[in-house]
A and B are shown apart, each in its own frame.
Chain A
Amino acid sequence: MAELVLDITLAVLLLSMAWGALHAPIINNGIGLFVAFGIVLALTWARLGAPDLALAEAAIGAGLTGVLLLHAARAIPVPTATTVMRPLQMMPSILLILLVLGLLTVITSSGPDSVFQQTPPLPDLVEERIADSGVEHPVTAVLMNFRAWDTLLELFVLLLALFGVRQLFPGQRVITRTGTQLSAADKPVKVQPWPPLMAWMGVLAPLLVLTGGYLLWHGSTAPGGAFQAGAILAAAAAVLHLIQNLPALRWSLWPVRALICGGALLFLVVAISTAWLGAGWLHYPQPGNKLLIVTIEVIATLSIAVTLALLVTGDSDDFTR
């Protein structure tokens, strides 16, 4: 009984926040609701028994997305006050949604061969092979060994996103008669943070780094791992950058570039060398696969952290000096 009420309450929370985030009359309300949606989503993952996802969502969905959206909202000069509905598009969209809904219902709830009656073969396979994978936690085993391809390509997706963001940055420069400079509106206003904020960050930042390291180390046996740790470190870096307590992370610094590219490159080198010298693409050698996985994870964590931090804060400092 309590579980049913809990499920219904969570569902009502999620749906009302999702609707409100899109249709709140003021965009700032929408952003606030979306951040809150991230927090409730983390609780939903906890309810559904997905601790890895709950950790990642608490770090990414609740922390980084809010900062990102706020950055963007700040860059938009006039707060867009209303949601404009295009009346002509209402009908097709409702029709399309009804169609999708019907299809999904047919797929999910058709008697004996609905998706809920089928037992997927993959969990048994994972359980069978986990002893050989080098780590004990199944999700980490899938991420770093069985489906290492996903993780490798994901690092490249992060890299691509960062390159895309960097390509868009020169738009900030404005060419005037005296030379290239930032327009006044784009120049970030530097505000000296208040003393209690500085003091609290002095406590919080080491704790964040410590927790990131704990999750990374814990990842082989329990929920946690490179993504979660990377996201937490990125949040720490982003907020330290925000209060100007960290030397600006700039693409022009070679350690930053090395860290960002390092994760993807190391993974690629491992993939190629296992294909060349070993059993095949990303088939780790049997003794020493734990060491290999831990090395990749540490480098990937740092790479993810720096990339996400740059994505979130943007390296606008490149142009201010």
Chain B
Amino acid sequence: MNSGAFYLSVGMAVFLIGLHGLLVLQDNLRRVIAVNLMGAGVFLVLVALATRTDPVDPVLQALAVTGLVVAISATAFALRLVSARIRHQQHKTKPDDGRLSSHKDKPR
């Protein structure tokens, strides 16, 4: 078993840990981390495959570099969605601090 095959299986393991977390966890922040871990697993597989040829495969490495930047922009968006959702829930549960929805509580 050469190191390429070894890291290929490590990458698959990281991907599966992420997948398991995504399916099982309920906390949104952790789900975002889980998706990121799945991405890391995919990059590991790509780079492990890149070591097949002797000067390592530049195409797969370039793909992984591109993927990394896409992953962080997607993460930023996802995290913003998470905090927007939480803010939304807060507004629904706390209607009595001068917010728009507070007119329901006023005595008529």
Contacts and interface: CB of A to CB of B under 8 A. Distances in A.
Interface in A129-172: 138-139, 141-143, 146-147, 150-151, 154, 157-158, 160-162, 164-165, 168-169, 171-172
Contacts of A60: 68-69, 72
Q: Give the interface size bracket for A toward B.
A: 35 or more
Contacts of A41: 40
Prevailing SS type, chain A contact patch? helix
B80 A52 contact: no
Contacts, number: 246
B8 A11 contact: no
B14 A18 contact: yes
A317 interface: no
A143 B98 CA distance: 53
B25 A83 contact: yes
Interface in A21-71: 21-23, 27, 30-31, 34, 37, 41, 44-45, 47-50, 52-53, 56-57, 60-61, 64-65, 68-69, 71
A45 B3 CA distance: 12
Contacts of B25: 22, 83-85
Interface in A86-129: 86, 89-90, 92-94, 96-97, 100-101, 104, 108-109, 115-116, 118-120, 122-123, 126-127
Interface in B1-48: 2-10, 12-14, 16-21, 23-27, 29-30, 32-34, 36-37, 40, 43-44, 47-48
Given A53-B43, A77-B86, A96-B23, A154 B69 contact: yes
B72 A127 contact: no
Interface stretch (A189-197, A246-254, A275-283, A306-314): A306-314
A244 interface: no
B108 interface: no
Q: Give the interface size bracket for B toward A.
A: 35 or more
Interface in B45-74: 47-53, 55-59, 61-66, 68-70, 72-74
Interface string A171-214: 11011110000010110000000000000000000000000000
Contacts of A85: 24-25
Nearest to B27: A80
Contacts of B68: 53, 56-57, 60-61, 227
A172 B72 contact: no
Given A15-B10, A22-B17, A116 B58 contact: no
A176 B97 CA distance: 9
Interface of B: 2-10, 12-14, 16-21, 23-27, 29-30, 32-34, 36-37, 40, 43-44, 47-53, 55-59, 61-66, 68-70, 72-77, 79-84, 86-88, 90-91, 97-100
Shortest 10 CB-CB distances between A and B: which pairs? Answer: A161-B73, A138-B58, A93-B23, A22-B21, A142-B62, A75-B83, A72-B79, A311-B76, A84-B26, A122-B59
Given A50-B56, A94-B20, 8 more contacts: A19-B17, A50-B47, A60-B72, A116-B8, A123-B58, A127-B55, A169-B80, A174-B91
